[in-house]
Structure 1
Amino acid sequence: MDSTLPSPNPASSISPSTSLYDSILASMFAPPPTVLIATILAIFFVPIFIHFIVFRSRSSISLPTFLLVGPAASGKTSLMTSVKTGQPPAETRTSQAPLSLECSIPASIAGTSKYRSVNDPSLKAHKKFLLLDTPGHGKLRHIALTRISSPAIRGVIFVLDSSLTDVRAVAGYLYDVLLTLQNSATSSTTTQPKKLLVACNKSDAFTALPPSKIQKLLEDEITKIRVSRSKGILDVEDDGEGNDEKEWLGEGGEGPFTFQSMEEVGVEIEFKGGSVENGEWRDRLSPWIGECL
């Protein structure tokens, strides 16, 4: 009897787990053509899909916004179009719903660019922003007042007719805008002041008043409105229903009102005159918008 044992078969000594591992490695490093093509297409098209669907939509929403408010027929929509094109707009109609328009200014006049070198190539670009026009009808003014406190709002532009035929109505709306800005500034966690520009439109009309005269008339009328509304607050307090300090416009709410006094409550106000028909507003508003940006 031969005592020599037969040598084991190398193939039979491979375990099933080792064979499965080898097959997985083989499929990974030598995939079928269809899997290889699908992988390459996914690598190229998934980033493109994310860019156009996700990032593009987010960037449009986050554009800084300037709110256009003011009485009806003051020329808000025409002014918005003039800022966009730099030309007198075609005939417009009274707005019944908010309208927005994407505009831009040279990056060199933006407030964030004043510390950049004159050779910085980024200064050759343009800063984009939105102009949001709101209805001026008395029943629709709540749309503007509810949007003033939005974090996206960088500034408010109050548009009025320079003829100022109904100063009390204009002053009443401006009073509400100022009070909303004041409440927003005092409740904000930042020290950045709220910006308001009073755009005295239609300055080319024969009956138009200069911005300095308009400012004085509005200050006098707001003083009267503040006195009458403050008296109403005091009457409510005497009835034992409490006193809402936020209804006092300005610091203390006493004495003659001035727009300069609003700086004490975090609201900066500026007056400018111009005409849509002359295409002046693009040049008049661009420096102010640049400071807000």
Structure 2
Amino acid sequence: MSAFRPALCATFAAGLLLAAPAAEARFGKKSSDTSDSKKDDDKGSKVHAATPIRSSPREEAPSRPPPSRDDDCCDTAPSRGRASYSARIHGDALLAAAELLAIAVDDTQPVDLAVREQRPAQPLDVRMGLNVGAMGGGTAGDVFLGIEGEALGFAVQGTQLTLPTDDGTSGTDDLRLATVHLTWAAVSTDRMRWRVEGGVSTAMAPDITFVGPSLATSLEVCVAGPLDVEARVQGTAGTYRQLDASAGLALHLGALNLRGGVRGLILDDAGRVDGVQHVDRFVGPYAGAGFVF
């Protein structure tokens, strides 16, 4: 039962979003009575030129002077004898070293094979997909990419919201959300995978752009054959507030995944645009497809 607790929490969060009242003002957008006279000052960036590190030239080892040769002709025969003896000594040493090297190679080869058999290369899983849905009287598009090994990985997700204007004027309001997370699979079995995520999130509204720390958790549980239950909750606190919760089903058809469910989203700019707090609450269904390699 403990395995389904995160999924129940995500469903409960989505239910709270469904019960939330409609937004009265657009997130990250100035009120109609607020002047647009404030402009951000451009800040010049300074570039620090790095000084290359020069390595000192390598000093050449002095060559040894050639050995002196005696002028006495009587030393010719003994010198040939000494050269022959030295050659025999060096030859025996080389043969002994070659034999020792061959023995060492023969002894270590089975050990290397055993080590390679005990340490197989860990495969990487690549997840990507696209979801579309209805939200807040408009449309929502969501793309995601995740790459992970046995436990660690990273995930990138982006959302595009196209909504009707909150003041009744013609046109639309666009909101763009993005998260970049490092992921860790706290539990990973054949039937369940629970991830803990952390990173940064961004929100681009009509009149402001936010960046803040982000935490998330996701759960995938196999319930019957190729059918899985998926749930995910992501939150941001700090410069702005964001709560993104979704829950649904996924059907695995080989490398192809088909999914659908419900998603809830809360966005709060904390009055950082014009001193007036703007909060948006959205709930709607989604459907999509993806691939797993």
TM-score normalised to structure 2 length: 0.26
Higher Cα Rg, which structure: 2
- Please identify which structure carries the higher strand content: 2
